[in-house]
Amino acid sequence: MNRTARLYALVEELRAARRRPLTVTALAARFEVSARTVQRDLQALMEAGVPVRCVPGRGGGWSIDPEMTLPPIHLTAEEASALTAVLAASDASTPYAGAARTAAQKIAASMTGPASAAARRLAARIVTVPTRGDAAVRSVVERALADAMVLRLSYTDAAGNASDRVVEPAGLLTADGRWYLIAWCRTRRAGRGFRLDRITAAALTGDRARPHDLTELLLGSAGADAVRPAALAPLTTSGEGTNRRGTESSGRPCRTSAP
């Protein structure tokens, strides 16, 4: 068994054990490898974000929280190739690029057979020209969106004019290979779009952001015709698209900077 297949099998072994921790010795015997190899594998899983944990003491060992992981997903060769192409498009300027990389590692570790072979063949044929992107800025924006927090931004527009803004994030817009943060700008008291690679600094203010309807903020802007990608439909609920707390947004148009 190669290492990739063993990592996948190790996760499944820990998942099956549920609340009964397994010792390194038991896992080494199960996979017919040394205890040191198992320890390296467990470390690799932790670095990849898999929620494995060690319970010390008598009766302890290694386990995994089944509620924190997905069940096995069996991909076809075509699906594996599609995911490979999509993940290849994630670079420093793409939101959640770090999480995409760890997701790719987990997917690669879980794939076997034709799906794995197809993904690896395609991966060897894809190259990309890196684009500029500030990882620290992107990380702050990601957190603000996830936790509904107000942001303080330093921004440079297409004409080279710099300004400081305080904004309430509403969502993300992608167009022509560019990503924009769509937000209610407290400074301008209107909806605005900020191209991510033009945000030179970002910091959380500690204030909670009010809910804003993304569609309404885009009215009258270059992004007014934006639609939710069809591929995301299974992830959305019927209630999304309206303000979650029933609060009406301003309805003022958002100005999106030209690429």
How many Cβ atoms are within 10 Å of 7's Cβ, its own excluded? 22
- Tell me what percent of the residues of the chain surpass a pLDDT of 90: 35
Question: Out of 3.30.470.20, 2.30.30.520, 2.40.10.10, 3.40.50.300, which CATH number does the structure's domain 135-256 have?
Answer: 2.30.30.520
**Of 213, 210, 211, which is closest to residue 251 (Cα–Cα)?**
213
Q: Who's near 114: CB < 8 A, 6+ residues apart?
A: 76, 77
Kindly tell me if the per-residue pLDDT of 237 is higher than 50: yes
Answer yes or no: pTM beyond 0.85: no
Give the Cα separation of 175 and 177 in Å (integer): 5
pLDDT computed for residue 107 by the predictor: 74
pLDDT for 19: 66
CATH entry, 3-68, from 3.10.129.10, 1.10.10.10, 3.90.1150.10, 1.10.940.10: 1.10.10.10
* Helix (H/G/I), strand (E/B), else coil: 140: helix
Q: What is the pLDDT of residues 122-151, one digit of tens each?
A: 888 888 877 666 888 999 999 999 999 999
Q: Report the share of the chain in percent with pLDDT over 70.
A: 84
Q: Which residue has the higher pLDDT, 33 or 55?
A: 33
Rounded CA separation 185/189 (Å)? 5
Are residues 81 and 114 in contact, defined by beta-carbon separation less than 8 angstroms? Answer: no
Of 98 and 163, the structure prediction assigns the larger pLDDT to 163
Residue 214 has pLDDT above 60, yes or no: yes
For the chain, the domains span 3-68, 77-123, 135-256
